Structure 1
């Protein structure tokens, strides 16, 4: 089995060295980039399996890098940044980042996030290869195409909304706790961040429910979590 290739995008030499040494010890293959321009070139030419991305790059803001990558690739992007405000996390995740780690960080945490990202990518690829399609009432999720339809009409979701919908669909009929959802979508750094989850849930419901105030697909269990109801 081929080992995954990682791309480390970090302009701080000390942090870049720390991540590089960690990956080398764990026997990961990796390339490095110090600027946003280098990152895009490496991503296009080397086609890495995971990108580890700093947001504060000298030439291009990391958010713009995420947008560029997401225009043609679904590879996992793990942000490692000194920006700790929730708005920065939400902006990165909204634009397609898969995970967010705040500096300073432990190498054990980074490795755990990498392993989790690889597991998710492997799962999504297996679903794509199977050509899996989820249907529940008027809701259809085409995993292979990454598309969502309501009553035959395509609904355009943000990456986080899509992940949230797929998580609920894959656990049809089960009540998922806030903690389980936030850990599954964003990892332990956002453990039980109910306020952010509610924001994403509200925008998702506006797009898939006929009446967001009276949801048909996603049921709220106050104080516990959410459940996707099974429809005929």
Structure 2
């Protein structure tokens, strides 16, 4: 998903991709002074897009931590949410759960074929995960590949099919299985954060298989 927000709403994008942040961290990410960041945040708060909460850590002074409101989250819509849920329910009601499973499986296989075609030029795991993140980003998932002290993470900061996933969590299961399939038997893909379960993002830990 591309960042198409206007300059005066860039804090919304940053809070979506990085999660709740204090003022100074937001100012650094925006490349402005703290006063400039505060001005943008107060205007966005007046529009109902962001909110601040006070957090106390240790013996230091309390900090204001900024985050998105539900209205701010709605800047990143669930693609055709109502129609998708209605179609899922119609398939389930008229054709049965097995038919819905067949549809999800077919979509999963289509994704696997697409990802395999686009990833075959990347033999190294890190490059493959980065390329997969790029594909998922183009599909609206605001995805990125992150390397930390534990290895590789595939992070998706947005779920454009969230309503469908909540209606039928086998969509999420199929995505996890697709990632495992295209990244190969030599690695294990574990979902460690899940938007449907209330997390800010979906995140997948990708680790070499040791057995």
Whether these two folds match at TM > 0.5 is no
> Using CA pairs below 8 Å that are at least 6 residues apart, which structure has the higher relative contact order?
2
More helix by share: 2
Structure having the higher Rg: 2
- Normalising by structure 2, what TM-score? 0.32
- Normalising by structure 1, what TM-score? 0.30
